[in-house]
Chains A and B, each alone.
Chain A
Amino acid sequence: MYSPKTEAELAEIVASANGPLSVRGGNTRGMAGRGTPLDLSGLSGIETYEPGALTLVVRAGTPLEQVEAALAAEGQRLAFEPADYRGLLGTDGTPTIGGVFAAGISGPRRIAVGAARDFALGVRFVDGTGRVVKNGGRVMKNVTGYDLVKLQCGARGSLGVLTEIALKVLPVPETAASVMLLGQSPEGAVQAMARALGSPFEVTGAAYSPCGLDGTPVTALRVEGFAGSVSYRAAQLAGLFPEAEVQVEDYPAKVAAGWAMIRDCKTLQGVEGDIWRLSVKPSDAPAVLQSLAPQHYLLDWAGGLIWAAVPAGTDVRAAMHVPGHATRVRGAGPGPQVHPADAGVARLEAGLRAQFDPRGLFSAQLTEV
Chain B
Amino acid sequence: MEMPTPDAAILARKARVVARLSEVLPAGAVISDPAETRAYECDALTAYKCPPLAAVLPSSTEEVAAVLRVCHVEGVPVVPRGAGTSLAGGALPTADCVILGVARMNAVLETNYPDRYVRVQTGRTNLSVTGAVESEGFFYAPDPSSQLACAIAGNIAMNSGGAHCLKYGVTTNNLLGVTLVTMEGEVIEIGGAHLDPAGLDLLGLICGSEGQLGVVTEATLRILPKPEGARPVLMGFDDVEVAGACVSDIIKAGVLPVAIEFMDRLCIQTCENFAKAGYPDCEALLIVEVEGSDAEIDDQLSRIIEIAKRHKPVELRESASAEESAAIWLGRKSAFGAMGQVGDYMCLDGTIPVSELPYVLRRISEMSEQYGLAVGNVFHAGDGNMHPLILFDANKPGDLQLCEAFGADVLKLCVEVGGCLTGEHGVGIEKRDLMSVQYAPEDLDMQMAVKDVFDPAWLLNPAKVFPLRASASRRMAAE
B195: A residues at CB distance < 8 A: 110-111, 115, 279, 301, 304-305
B329 contacts chain A at the CB level, 8 A cutoff: no
Size bin of chain A's contact surface: 35 or more
The 8 Å CB contact of A226, one of B187, B300, B424, is B300
**B4 CB-CB contact with A under 8 Å:** no
Q: Which of B154-213 contact A (CB under 8 A)?
A: 158-159, 161, 165-166, 169-170, 172-173, 182, 186-190, 192-205, 207-209
Taking a contact as CB atoms closer than 8 A, the residue among B114, B352, B421, B422 that contacts A282 in the complex is B114
For the complex, what is the distance from the CA of A146 to the CA of B249, rounded to whole Å?
Answer: 32
**Interface status of A117 (Cβ within 8 A of chain B):** yes
- The segment from A86-94, A170-178, A267-275 found at the interface with B is A170-178
What is the CA–CA distance of A351 and B453 in the complex, to the nearest angstrom? 6
Residue of A111, A145, A153 ringed by the most chain B CB atoms within 10 A: A145
Q: Which of A106, A111, A117, A198 has the most CB of B within 10 A?
A: A198
Mask for B426-453, Cβ within 8 A of A = 1, else 0?
A: 1100010001001110111011011111
Residues in B with CB closer than 8 Å to A133 are: 442-443, 446
User: By CB atoms of chain A within 10 A, which of B199, B427, B447 has the most?
Assistant: B199
B241 vs chain A, min Cβ distance (A): 14
**Is the C-beta of A314 less than 8 angstroms from some C-beta in chain B?**
no
A324 at the interface (CB under 8 A from B): yes
A132 neighbours in B (Cβ, 8 Å): 442
Question: Quick one: which of B296, B351, B454 contacts A348, CB cutoff 8 A?
Answer: B454
A344 touches B186 (CB 8 A): yes
Alpha-carbon separation in the docked complex, A301 to B165 (Å): 22
- Give the contact stretch, choosing among B7-15, B250-258, B278-286, B310-318: B250-258
Does A257 touch B at the CB level, under 8 Å?
no
Looking at B72-80, B220-228, B334-342, B364-372, the stretch in contact with chain A turns out to be B220-228
Give the chain B neighbours of A254 by CB distance below 8 A: none
Looking at the complex, which one of A118, A137, A345 makes contact with B173 (CB distance below 8 Å)? A118
Structural contact, A138 and B385, CB atoms closer than 8 A = no
A139 to B416 Cα, complex, angstroms: 13
A117 contacts B201, CB within 8 Å?
yes
**In the assembly, what is the distance between CA of A145 and CA of B166, in Å?**
21
Assess whether B431 is in contact with A140, with CB atoms less than 8 Å apart.
no
- Interface assignment of A280: CB less than 8 Å from any CB of chain B: yes
**B420 interfacial contact with A, CB 8 Å:** yes
Bound-complex Cα distance A301 to B454 (A): 32
Which one of A139, A147, A279, A351 has the greatest number of beta carbons of chain B within 10 Å? Answer: A139
B48 within 8 A of A: no
Using an 8 Å CB-CB cutoff, how does the interface string of B135-164 with A read, 1 for contact, 0 for none? 001100000000000000000001101000
Instruction: Report the contact-size class of chain B (Cβ under 8 Å from the partner).
Output: 35 or more
Given known pairs A139-B420, A141-B423, A146-B450, the reply for A338 and B199 (CB within 8 Å) is yes
Q: Is the CB of B200 within 8 A of A144?
A: no
Least CB distance, A148 to chain B, in whole angstroms: 7
Q: How far is the CB of A332 from chain B (nearest CB, A)?
A: 20
For A329-369 the 0/1 string (1 means CB < 8 A from B) is 00000000011011011001101101110000000000000
CB nearest to A303 among chain B residues: B115
Whether B383 pairs with A341 at a CB distance below 8 angstroms is no
Chain B, residue nearest A324 (CB): B194
**Contact string against B for A residues 106-130, beta-carbon threshold 8 Å, 1 for contact and 0 otherwise:** 1000110011011000000001000
Contact between A146 and B453, CB atoms less than 8 A apart: no
Q: Do A52 and B251 touch across chains, with their CB atoms under 8 A apart?
A: yes
Verify A198–B114 contact, CB threshold 8 A.
yes
| B351 and A140 contact, CB distance less than 8 A | yes
Does the CB pair A226–B299 fall under 8 Å?
yes
Question: Which of A50, A145, A154, A348 contacts B427, CB < 8 Å?
Answer: A145
Most buried by B among A115, A117, A141: A141
Other-chain contact of A52, B169, B252, B423 (Cβ < 8 Å): B252
Contact A352 B427 (CB under 8 A): no
Between A53, A151, A342, the greatest number of chain B beta carbons within 10 A of the residue's beta carbon is seen for A53
Interface pair B447/A349, CB less than 8 Å apart:
no
Contact A348 B353 (CB under 8 A): no
In B349-403, the 8 Å CB interface with A consists of 351-355, 380, 383-385
Q: Given contacts A114-B173, A134-B439, A171-B254, is CB(A338)–CB(B207) below 8 Å? A: no
Q: Is the CB of B201 within 8 A of A150?
A: yes
Indicate whether A55 reaches chain B with its CB closer than 8 angstroms. yes
Question: Is A54 located at the chain interface by the 8 A CB criterion?
Answer: yes
For the complex formed, measure the closest distance between the CB of B307 and the CB atoms of chain A, giving whole angstroms.
Answer: 12
Tell me how far the C-beta of B394 lies from the nearest C-beta in chain A, rounded to whole angstroms.
Answer: 26
For residue A301, which residues in chain B have a CB less than 8 angstroms away from its CB?
195
Partner of A281, one of B193, B228, B419: B193
Interface assignment of A327: CB less than 8 Å from any CB of chain B: yes
Asked whether A148 lies within 8 Å of B446 as measured between CB atoms, the reply is yes
A140 and B450 within 8 A (CB): no
Question: For the complex, what is the distance from the CA of A345 to the CA of B252, rounded to whole Å?
Answer: 41
Asked whether A144 and B293 contact (CB < 8 A) given A52-B249, A173-B254, A348-B188, the answer is no
Q: What's the nearest-Cβ distance from chain B to residue A56, in Å?
A: 12
Q: For residues 42 through 65 of chain A, which have their beta carbon under 8 Å from a beta carbon of chain B?
A: 50-55
Q: Is A159 an interface residue (CB 8 A)?
A: yes
CB distance from B331 to the nearest CB of A (A): 23
Q: How far is the CA of A341 from the CA of B418 in the complex (A)?
A: 37
Residues of A within 8 A of B173 (CB): 114, 118
Taking CB atoms, residues of chain B closer than 8 Å to A149 are 204
With CB as the reference atom, state the residue of chain A lying closest to B444. A145
Mark B291-307 against chain A: 1 for CB-CB distance below 8 A, else 0. 01101100110010000
11 A-B pairs with C-beta separation under 8 A: A114-B169, A141-B170, A143-B170, A159-B200, A173-B254, A324-B192, A344-B189, A348-B454, A349-B199, A349-B200, A355-B453
Residues of A within 8 A of B (CB): 50-55, 75, 104, 106, 110-111, 114-115, 117-118, 127, 131-135, 137-151, 153-155, 158-159, 170-174, 191, 194, 197-200, 225-226, 228-229, 232, 279-283, 301, 304-305, 323-325, 327, 338-339, 341-342, 344-345, 348-349, 351-352, 354-356
Contacts A51-B252, A144-B438, A200-B228 given; 8 further ones with Cβ under 8 A? A54-B251, A134-B439, A139-B423, A145-B443, A145-B465, A149-B204, A151-B201, A198-B137
The 6 closest A-B pairs by CB, nearest first: A150-B204, A325-B198, A171-B254, A141-B423, A351-B453, A344-B188
